[in-house]
Structure 1
Amino acid sequence: MIVSKRIKIPRDGVDSTQLLEHLQEHFSNTLTGEVLRFAIVEVIGEDLIVDASIMVKDAGTKGKTGGGIHG
């Protein structure tokens, strides 16, 4: 299953590697999976608004499931 979500991240000189680390940390609090893609969609003051998608690992099945984009 693929989950898509918009996340607010402080932009304190963050580079793409640090941005990916922020996303992985954010998702690891609720989901287990791999970040597939992310894009900065907006900058508001000192924050980046990032649209990110994660492939959620489903312990009950093997391989990919159909899934879809959810927000």
Structure 2
Amino acid sequence: MEKTEVDEAYTTQTCSSCGSLPESRPKGIAGLGIREWTCSGCGVAHDRDINASRNILAAGHGRLAVGIPVL
């Protein structure tokens, strides 16, 4: 099985629902304290860590995060 390395850059900021980097995303050092945010592009609410994990999982599978169930 081939291993895939995923670059985690922007995984907390990219909306796992619509794939955009919305203006409402947490940014920079100040954004590290923001745990939850709502995408200004599609209106989906995200927990920062869960959103990042969905994006990393999707990148590892070579597809968009859309369709990964929210637990």
| TM-score, normalization by structure 1 | 0.28
Specify which structure has the higher proportion of strand: 1
> Highest CA radius of gyration, 1 or 2?
1
Higher relative contact order (CA 8 A, sep 6+): 1
